Amino acid sequence: MKQAMWADAAAMAHEVFDGAVVVLSGSGGGLQEADHIAEAIEQRFLATGHPRDLTLVHGLGIGDGTTTGISRFAHQGMVKRVIGGHWTWSRRMQQLARENEIDAYTLSAGAIQTLLREIGAGRHGLVTHIGLHTFADPRHGGGRCNARATEELVEVIQLGGKELLWYKPFKVDFALVRGTAADPQGNLTSRDEPADMDVFAAAMAAHNSGGKVFAQVRDALPDAITPARAVSLPGVFVDSICRFAAQTQTTGAAYDLSISGALAVPPVRAASAMPEGLRYLIAHRAAQELRPGLCVNFGFGVPDGIPAIAQHEGLEIGWTTIEQGPHNGELLGEHLFGATRYPSAIVKSTEQFDFFSGGGIDIAFLGMGELDAEGNVNVSWLGENIVDPGGFVDITQKAKKVVFCGAFEAKGLEVAHTGGQVRIVQPGSVPKIVREVRHITFSGKRARADGQDVLYVTERAVFELTSEGLRLREIALGIDLERGVLSRLPFAVPLSPALAQLANGPRAMQDLR
């Protein structure tokens, strides 16, 4: 019987060779991140200059946003290529990409994670509809984010008369994964973790590529993990295990059983904090799209305030899902987005992405960076830095209905809300509704072809996607149609029949008191 091979993180780091392909499993905010091992690799590089020229692959954000996770590798010469689904967790890595010090690629989190599964299964890459007509499509950049990124990682193919994307496979040399504990056979359990993430897919990709799997755990168990179903990664996948007793459940936070799903929902819970100001106006209007019995997804930012509003107003929220794998939990938000409190189920994030890809979401509420006349949305490249798609593409591409939530303008926008009326105190200096988005994270063209129901909610106006493109559906009470909306758009937009009758008069989205 195979026995666990225990090692310290420094010994693991010494095995990582120059030019290796390293996969990081986990999610931002410390969710199931093997950061103790990553730190050892960083320390070795800073001391010796090795390993260098690594290829780093990660589906979701990894780290605390400053020094841990992806930032462990954000040193000149340490990496030559990054294929990432979430870049905002490391400003240093964003800078390396911006300055052409690395080959920078961004792909959707689900495509990266399920590609790892396909690599582990020995199949010829990932063939999917996810990413068509977005930045991942070679006709729109193929995920390339700077001049150094010249290789085509994705191709458009025809299969059975359908247009699909082929994400090409690659060899994985090392996978860094994490669990709560390991037993004498090297089996890992994630029973106290906030999510299962893509640990299994990442480990299988490395193991079946002839690479190695390095695991980090908090506890070394004297006996076998029971029940056997509690094993999240069988020991046959694992080459070396490092025990790190100071491991925390999330960034800097002790283990909380309500987050790992080990505690039942209490009969009475404190009400969630209500969003305020601009976030309240947008989230409140978006919440009116909720309907009983729906499978719902809430994205990061403004949308994660919708459940609190729904709870306050007695609206049924539905069956909630997020890409990290929890179902029906209370969203924690901010840097802990991806973890939930009192989830009713936790599945692997790869399985969650399969569910999304197949159209399992009835309605998704996502953020909105830029919007254009075609109904395209950009959240993946804003300003000078690569931002991230995360699970955005996987979620929005097949959801039956999508409600995008974002401010009409940015930088300096001030809005007052009194007596149910909205007043623009100071307009923003940066338009968010533009002639053409810089990066297509959501394709209006594809959505129209598929007959998808799409709304775009701002603090002053709601737009909808029609077969002809963007249309202004309604405006908030107190907003002047011409002065507050139409004159501030860079293109002419048709009006809904109800708005067209008002000429220049205001129309309320609803009573916001």
Active site amino acids: 323
Please, what is the end-to-end C-alpha distance for the chain in angstroms? 67
Rg value, the chain, Cα = 23
Torsions phi, psi of 48, nearest 5?
-125, -15
In sequence order, the 6+-apart residues with CB closer than 8 A to the CB of 117 are 198, 200, 201, 204, 205, 350
Helix, strand, coil content of the chain in percent (nearest 5) = 25, 25, 50
Contacts of 412 (CB under 8 A, 6+ apart): 426, 427, 428, 429
In single-letter form, the type of residue at position 429 comes to S
Q: Which residues of 279-310 are buried (b: 16+ CB within 10 A; e: fewer)?
A: bbbbbbbbbbbbeeebbbbbbbbbbbbbbbbb
DSSP-derived secondary structure letter, 169: P
Q: Is the CB of residue 196 less than 8 Å from the CB of residue 233? A: no
Sign of CA dihedral 274, 278, 281, 282: negative
The DSSP code sequence of 9-45 is HHHHHHHPPTT-EEEE--BTTTBT--HHHHHHHHHHH
Token couple for 324: 């990290």
Phi first, then psi, for residue 115 (nearest 5°) are -65, -40
- Give the list of residues 6+ apart from residue 36 with CB closer than 8 angstroms, or none: 9, 216, 242, 244, 247
User: From CA 423, how far away is CA 403, in angstroms rounded?
Assistant: 23
What are the Cα distances from residue 508, in Å, to 19, 280, 374, 475, 495?
59, 16, 25, 6, 14
- For tokens 């000078």, name the residue: 384
